[in-house]
Structure formats: structure tokens, C-alpha cells
Amino acid sequence: MEISRVTRTKEEAGETYNKLSKWYDLLAGYWERKPRDIGLRMLGVKEGEKVLEIGFGTGRAIISLAESVGNSGRVYGIDISSGMHEVAGSAIMKADLSERVEFICGDAIELSFETNFFDAIFMSFTLELFDTPEIPIVLQECNRVLKKNGRICVVAMSKRGKAGLMMKIYEWAHEKFPKYIDCRPIFVEEALKNAGCKIISIKKMSLWRLPVEIVLAKM
């Protein structure tokens, strides 16, 4: 089975998420919380670590990561949306965690960090937003910036198994309305293995009968 392509441009993606940023938690935040929190527990960030979140959105995971690393650690986040940057920044300020967090508004296709910089990387409903040829490039960048035996946890919609009715409807909507439904299911475990990762554990669940994989791996 082939993965659907992402046909909207990066500029269109930024504009869409800028518009959604103030309402995103109401629209999708509740449903994404459970798999995101499972992924954070699987990643098991420790005090003093340096961690990157790709696609930080409204900053819910960033808050948890910043609490985990303590005063001696550091959390970095990168997101293509300036609107999400603004919302997440406000959330971090309210949580009094600004000194532990640094945000970057940009594209993870090219990470502006030194090699072997991070202990861990987290992505939640983000990897499937990249076009199919970009996924291995993003994971190669993750490989580069992670330390030896660094951990990566990816939460994503999964294309594994037989496609049910909800999956068929969702992929049809993705094809017809690519600017607004730009996320689509991918082969999560396979993508990480192809990037040279060693799979540590996998958790499977569903949201609205759409399969989700939470994969923890080491680079």
C-alpha cells in the first residue's frame, strides 16, 4: 500500500495552522491528549536532558517536557506556524517555565542544531504532516542531532492493517481537501526502521476508529 502524498505547500500549512492556533485545543487537543501522554511516558525524559519537540503546536507536550528536564535541562521546540509559536509561548509563560524552553519557528526538514546535541526527540501527530519524500529526510536530521543511543518517540496516524471505513473516508477527505486535512496515515514503524532506528516498544490504539501508533526507538 502506498502512502498518500501531501500536496499543500509549506506556506499554506503555516497559514492554516496560524488560523487554527487559538482554537486547536478545542478542535483536536482533547482527542490527541491520550496518545500524546502515552508517548511522553514511553520517552521517559529525565532531569538534566536536552530534548527537542518537532511540531510543538499549542505547547502541551512542551510543558510536560520542561517539567521533566528540571532546571538543569533544556527543551527546544520547532514548528512551522508562528500562530502556534505565540500560543505555546503564552502557555509556557503561564507555567513559569520560560527559562527552560527555546522555540524556533521553522521547518524540521533542516534542523539548525549541532550533531549529537539531543538526548531525546518527541513528535506527536507531526511526522505524517510531511510529504512522503520528506519523511526520511526529517528522520535523518533527527538521527544527526541525537546523541548515540538517543531516544525518539513518534505518535502518528498509522496505515498498518486493513483500511476500515473511517480510514477510507479520511483518506478521501485528505485527497479532496489537502489544505485543511493535510495529515494522513503513514507506516510509522517502517519509517523509523528505514532511518536506522532500533525499535524499543510500540503501542497501538485508535482515535475515531483511525489507527494510531506510538513508537519508541533508539538511533
Domain 10-218 classification at class level:
alpha beta
DSSP string, 117-176: -EEEEEEES-GGGS-TTHHHHHHHHHHHHEEEEEEEEEEEEB--S---HHHHHHHHHHHH
Percent of the chain with pLDDT over 70: 99
**77-106, pLDDT tens digit by residue?**
999 999 999 999 999 999 999 999 999 999
Domain ranges of the chain: 10-218
Q: Which residues of the chain, if any, have pLDDT below 50?
A: none
For residues 90 and 25, the answer to whether their CB atoms sit within 8 Å is: no
Distance of CA 87 to the CA centre of its chain: 17
What pLDDT was estimated at residue 99? 97
Cell of 6: 501531501
Q: Which of 37, 8, 2 is nearest to 130 (CA)?
A: 8
Using the 8-state DSSP alphabet, how is residue 186 labeled? B
Q: What is the pTM of this model?
A: 0.95
